[in-house]
Every structure is written in C-alpha cells, then in structure tokens.
Amino acid sequence: MAGEFPGAAPLMLVPGVVHLNEPAAVFEAMVGGWGRQQRSRQLGSGTIADRERLIRRFQEFTESYPWEWTPADLEDFTVSLTSGPTRFAVSTVRGYHLTLRMFFDYLTDSRYEWPTQCHDRFGTVPAQICNEWNTVAHLNEYEGRPQRRPLTYRELEALFDWLDDRVETIARSGRKGALAALRDATMIKTTYAFGLRRNELVRLDVADLRPNPHVRIWGSYGSVHVRFGKAMRGSLPRRRTVLAVPEFDWAVAGLQQWVAQALPLYEAGGHPALWLTERRTRVSVRHVDEFFATARAEVGLDEHLSLHCLRHSYVTHLIEHGYPERFVTEQVGHTHASTTAIYTSVSNDFKNKALQAALARVYGTSETE
C-alpha cells in the first residue's frame, strides 16, 4: 500500500538501477516525489516550484542531503537569511521554515518509504529538523513591513492628478502612448475603487463588469465580478462580487469611458480581457507593478508603498465612510473580520469624530461642548 501513494519512493526510484551519483539521484527523486504529492492535492504549479527551489537552495547551502541534515543546519541557514545588508523579513523566514517542515513531514512519513530507502542505501534516515525552538512562531496577524500603510487622501489625490496629467500630456504631444496611458490610469484607479489584488485586476474580463440592481444609472458598471480571488490551501480561486460604492462613483465613469471608447481602438478581435497591451495580449502583473513604481517615484510617495497599499486604503476609507465591518470584509474577500482589521488604519480625524459622536450620545451636546 505504501508504494501506491503519489510521490512514494518505489514510484520515484527504478529498482535495480545503479546511479553514478546515488545521493544526488535519490535527492532529485525526493524533490520530484514531493512535487507529485503536492500536485495530487491540487496545489498551484507556482507554489510547488517555489517550494522546490527553496529545498534545492537549502541543499546547496548545507552541501549535504536530507538524510544528513540536522537542526543545526536549519539554524545556520536562518542566521544567513537574517544577517548582512539584505535581511529577509520575518514573514519570509517563517515561510521558509514552514516549507522545510512540510518537506520533512513528507520524507519521514513511513507511507512514502523514504526512511527505508535511505537506511538501505546510506545507513541513516531523515529526521525532522524543524521544532518549536528553532523556527519562527506566528505571533502577529500582520507580519508585513511596517512602512507599508494606506495612502492618505492627499497622497491619493496627488497620484490620480499625476495619472490624469500624464494622459493629457501624451495626448496633446501627439506621441504614441496616449491609449496605454489611459489604460494604466484606469487600472490604478480601479484597483483602489474596488479594493482589488494585483492578480484579480489583470485577470478581469469585460464580462466581469456587472450591474448593481440598486443603482441602475450605473448600467453594467455597478459591480465587478472577481473570478480569480486568492486561493487557499490548494483550492480553486475564490469568487466574489465587489459592489461599487457612491463615494467612488468616479470609477464607474472611468470604466465606462475605457470600455466604450478606448478598448475598441485595440481592435483585438473579441479578446475577452478588460486590460490589453499594444500587442493585444493581457496586461501582466509585472507591468502593473513597474508602472506603479514609476508613478510613485514621479509623485514623490514613500518608496515602501506598493500597489497593494491601495487595497489597504480602500478598506480604511470604507470604514471611515461608515460602512459596516461585515460589508467591508465581504467586499475584499476576506474569510475573517480579523484579517480585514489589520488592513485598517483610520485617520486621527475619523477617530476624533467618532469620539465626539460618542461623547454627545452619552453626555449630550451641551455637556460635551
């Protein structure tokens, strides 16, 4: 029964074959077997490739193989990641530890027969090298860089003004690129106005623009149907519908202009994508990141602010506009309200108004004054 599991040693090693470099061959079989096990769980190819890359990197660091690895090797590797000028973030190191722990859970599981194979071939067996004393514990809900925060209203205004001015400048000059400039401006604004992730943004199709039955004047632009939301633990991408809100109704007008007037100029022959390149292909996540970095530098924003900070801004500003927490959580596709809470960083002005309202409610207006 052991050999019937995806990634089991008998399926990865051919009996009777003598390898010129047996340790290297067994190591490759281990990595390949772990990949098969993960694919059977329907994990994404990108996730699997990243994990395999880390295992190979760890092997190069130790210059040994899994059946020889010890907890001291993990500790030395961690020190190398957290020292020097390019220190890794705590969340990254914790992710590396988690990957190595899962790899050893696979190797030490008797159902996959790797302990037997290693004992027969090398006289030793792999043992778990990750424990509670040498791995990073998950103590905080948010482990990202503290410099990353929601943009203020003034920063957003400066960013959007720069985007609009760029479109007008290129259009007046008669140079090629006005259409692409309008596309990039509309993409950045849509990211903020609907609280989208990067992949959710670039994977949108025109058909994903839906009406909101409560606001018929917005036509087919009252909501955005997200079909490629963040997947969890090998599941399919999660779907949700993000409703346009009246505070951001300017985004509806921008999408109407883009779809009705600009997008047909690409003459893409029925391509479903909402955002197209000059080559009539879907805009990539890399392009969006690079463009936002350019815009950030031109406007003079903090270099630590990323495109994802617009999503943080969306959550924060919805809360400041008085939307219920449950509504905000569903809008951004979070499973738990606690996740939405770590995105929120309301302004001092909002806090002051909330406190004034509470004081007036408890003590009355005259006593509050």
Specify the pLDDT at position 3: 52
Q: Among candidates 292, 208, 193, 211, which has minimal Cα distance to 251?
A: 193
Q: 76 and 215: one domain?
A: no
Report the pLDDT value the prediction gives residue 345, as an integer from 0 to 100: 63
Inside any domain, residue 147: no
Q: pLDDT value at position 352? A: 65
pLDDT along the chain (369 residues), means of 10: 68 74 93 92 87 96 96 94 83 91 94 92 94 76 63 94 95 89 96 94 95 89 91 74 93 94 89 93 95 95 92 90 88 74 62 67 61
- Amino acid identity for residue 110 in this structure: S
According to the model, what pLDDT value does residue 249 have? 92
Q: Do the domain assignments include residue 138?
A: no
Q: Is residue 300 part of a domain?
A: yes
pLDDT at 368: 46
- The boundaries of the domain holding residue 47 are 2-122
Same-domain pairing of 85 and 39: yes
Reduce the secondary structure of 159-182 to three states and give it as a string: HHHHHHHHHHHHHHHCCCCHHHHH
Where would I find the H helices in 82-225?
A: 90-108, 114-122, 153-173, 178-194, 198-202
As a 3-state breakdown, the chain gives helix, strand, coil percent values, each rounded to 5, of 60, 5, 35
Are residues 49 and 169 located together in one domain of the fold? no
Q: What is the pLDDT of residue 109?
A: 93
Q: Based on the domain organization, do 337 and 294 belong to the same domain?
A: yes
pLDDT for the residue 294: 96
pTM over 0.85: no
